[in-house]
Amino acid sequence: MTLKSIREASAFWDASALVPLCVQERRSAAARARFRQFSQVVWWGSRVEVYSAACRLHREKRISDADKQQAVSRMQLLIAGWREILPDDEVRSLAFDSLEKYSLRAADAIQIAASLVWCDKRPSRRTFICGDRRLASAAESAGFTVLEVA
């Protein structure tokens, strides 16, 4: 996988869409297609979530030692090219609001909040890429154009 230096459009990427870029799985081809279309904006904790997924898959013996190392290497390449939304009071406040509005877990509420910070709370005509149906539904309700990695 090579990083494209210039992409015309950016999108907010949930960790569920990032993991298939790092670990070979059935959704990897769809994730790579989105990767070619959109540069990545992520929340600050995405690298922890992606690493967590690689570790879990390794512990469950669903990927080998070599696969895990390759996943970490791919993640490092992605990190070099993505934009991170850092944790701050606005993200926390928007996450609280999201928990009131949508049926989300805490980390997913932070994803929605970070995506809203990225687009200055104007999600119309902004893209949100994910592989989690509950989060996709919340992002769509918030006003994003949702592209699922399925």
pTM of the model: 0.91
The pLDDT of 67-86, averaged and rounded, is: 97
pLDDT for res 6 = 43
pLDDT for res 8 = 61
Contact 12, 129 (CB under 8 A): yes
Coil/strand/helix, residue 39: strand
Domain coordinates of the chain in residue numbers? Answer: 1-150
- pLDDT of 124 > 70? The answer is yes
Does domain 1-150 sit in CATH 1.10.132.20? no
